[in-house]
């Protein structure tokens, strides 16, 4: 599974990314962490990035792409990844497409968490007010003023990516204003719909399972039952008489019918003899 999560600050990308990581065993590729790791490992790309950052400059896209390329070659990225903080612009997205094509990898989806900016601002202002009421210090980067600037930056730089990935039929939009659980469920549903993950199969009922168990009886049991059926048949193939009780009943019926026939036969003979005597006279 290879994903990109898009959304403005405060949309819940970090929370959903962590849930996907733990559930599906994929890795989160954060450009900031990858840069620091590359610098610490003193890789060729990391050393180049170190010199640029030391001079106070911005790391160019080709250097970032080089770091991502090295990171994708590591074993833990084989199951999949979520890109965090990259791409931020359309040129970066184009460079990423070229890199994935070279590595014979395919991006499964770009999930956009769509939120209401006014609601986000209200949420930040309410949280800051509650912190002041409790006597807690409000972080400088957690104020409505800072959020307004970050939202403006997102719209100008990152929002064009929505159109870019929509044209390539990679964009899937989720309502980020739902509860965390509902957002997680919706992401799972759409990933299953596009085949990025296997859908959950419902458990079978006990009855069909028991029936299947009967059909899959051991061969020895089948042979035993077959032998019993053969033993119950006579050499001619007809079923043998099951019990002595049945044979006794049959003999009684025969005896009764024979005794009933005998008196009738005797009376007929006597009548014949009397007729012969009458003729002689």
Report pTM: 0.63
Residue 241 within any structural domain of the chain:
no
Q: What is the tally of structural domains in the chain? A: 1
Residue with tokens 């400059």: 57
Phi, psi values for residue 185, rounded to 5°: -65, -40
R_g of the chain computed on alpha carbons: 44
Which residues in the chain land under pLDDT 50?
205-206, 212-213, 221-222, 232, 234-235, 239-244, 248, 252, 257-261, 263-265
Annotated active-site residue 261? The verdict is no
Residue 168: predicted pLDDT: 93
Of the residues 19, 36, 123, 127, only one is catalytic, namely 127
Exposed, middle or buried, 38 (CB in 10 Å: 0-12/13-18/19+)?
Answer: buried
CATH code where residue 145 lies: 3.40.50.300
Give me the pLDDT at residue 97, please: 95
Identify the domain containing residue 116 by its residue range. 2-26+79-193
Q: Quick check: is 85 in a domain?
A: yes
- Active-site annotation holds for 268: no
What pLDDT, on a 0 to 100 scale, did the predictor assign at position 40? 87
Q: Active site residue: 19, 88, 114, 123, which one?
A: 88
Flag whether 18 is in a domain: yes
Asked, for residue 174, whether it belongs to a domain, the answer is yes
Catalytic-residue membership of 189: no
How far apart are the C-alpha atoms of 72 and 103, rounded to whole Å?
A: 9
214 labelled catalytic: no
Q: Is residue 184 part of a domain?
A: yes
Query: Which pLDDT belongs to residue 36?
Result: 84
Question: Which member of 13, 48, 50, 170 is catalytic?
Answer: 13
| pLDDT given for residue 139 in this prediction | 77
Task: Confirm whether 9 is domain-assigned.
Answer: yes
Q: What is the predicted pLDDT for the residue at 90?
A: 93
Residue 186 lies in a domain: yes
Catalytically annotated residue among 139, 223, 229, 249: 139
Helices (H), the chain: 13-24, 31-41, 44-54, 61-72, 90-102, 117-133, 144-153, 160-167, 180-193, 206-215, 219-231, 244-280
Residue 199 in domain: no
Is residue 88 among the annotated active site residues? yes
């Amino acid at each position: 599974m290879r994903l990109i999560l898009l959304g403005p600050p405060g949309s819940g990308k970090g929370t959903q990314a962590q849930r996907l990581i733990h559930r599906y065993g994929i890795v989160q590729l954060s450009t900031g962490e990858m840069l620091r790791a590359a610098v610490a490992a003193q890789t060729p790309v990391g050393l180049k990035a170190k010199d640029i950052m030391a001079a106070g400059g911005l790391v160019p896209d080709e250097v970032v792409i080089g770091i991502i390329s090295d990171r994708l070659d590591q074993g833990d990225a084989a199951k999949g990844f979520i890109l965090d903080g990259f791409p931020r612009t359309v040129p970066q997205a184009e460079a990423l497409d070229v890199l994935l094509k070279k590595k014979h990898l395919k991006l499964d989806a770009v999930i956009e968490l769509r939120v209401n900016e006014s609601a986000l601002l209200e949420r930040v202002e309410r949280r800051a007010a509650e912190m002041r009421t409790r006597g807690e210090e409000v972080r400088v980067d957690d104020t409505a003023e800072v959020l307004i600037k970050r939202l403006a930056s997102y719209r100008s730089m990152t929002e064009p990516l929505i159109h870019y990935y929509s044209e390539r039929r990679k964009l899937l939009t989720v309502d980020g204003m739902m509860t965390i659980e509902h957002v997680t469920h919706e992401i799972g549903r759409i990933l299953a719909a596009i085949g990025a993950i296997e859908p959950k199969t419902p458990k079978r009922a006990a009855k069909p399972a028991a029936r299947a168990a009967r059909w899959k009886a051991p061969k020895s049991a089948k042979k035993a039952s077959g032998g019993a059926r053969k033993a119950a048949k006579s050499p001619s193939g007809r079923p043998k008489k099951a019990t002595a009780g049945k044979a006794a009943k049959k003999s009684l019926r025969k005896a009764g019918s024979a005794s009933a026939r005998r008196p009738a036969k005797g009376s007929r003979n006597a009548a014949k003899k009397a007729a012969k005597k009458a003729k002689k006279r």
